[in-house]
Amino acid sequence: MADVIGRLRTRLIIEAPVETPDSAGGVTRNYEEHATVWAAVEPVAGAFSFTTGRTGQTVTHRITLRAGPDLTVEHRLRHGTRLYRIRSVLADEKHRFLTALTEEMTP
């Protein structure tokens, strides 16, 4: 456990979705700050693609944080200008830590 705590060096913001009605009968989804946490951010894999004249990049990360704040695939994580889309959330056997498998969102 002490090993995990020592790796929580990155300050991340958990953003929660907020949906507001639009004038066409649908909704607009925005995100607002939900909590600020210390986390360990580890790159796991990356991929490069070229589709219809556009290049794209997918970078996946494993992000570990202390259990406590609500964290689901509806949330996203922010570190400065970097955004991480959460693909899954796993708890350790003692429910002390959460591990989010994420995909970095690139423009």
Taking the domains of the chain in order of start, what are their residue ranges?
A: 2-105
Using 50 as the pLDDT threshold, list the residues of the chain that sit under it.
Answer: none
Q: Which CATH class is domain 2-105?
A: mainly beta
Query: For residue 105, what pLDDT is reported?
Result: 86
Query: For residue 42, what pLDDT is reported?
Result: 95
Query: For residue 55, what pLDDT is reported?
Result: 59
CA 104 to the chain's CA centroid: 8
Query: For residue 25, what pLDDT is reported?
Result: 86
Query: For residue 23, what pLDDT is reported?
Result: 86
Burial class (CB within 10 angstroms; exposed 0-12, middle 13-18, buried 19+) of 19: exposed
pTM exceeding 0.85: no
Query: For residue 91, what pLDDT is reported?
Result: 92
Strand partners, 38: 11
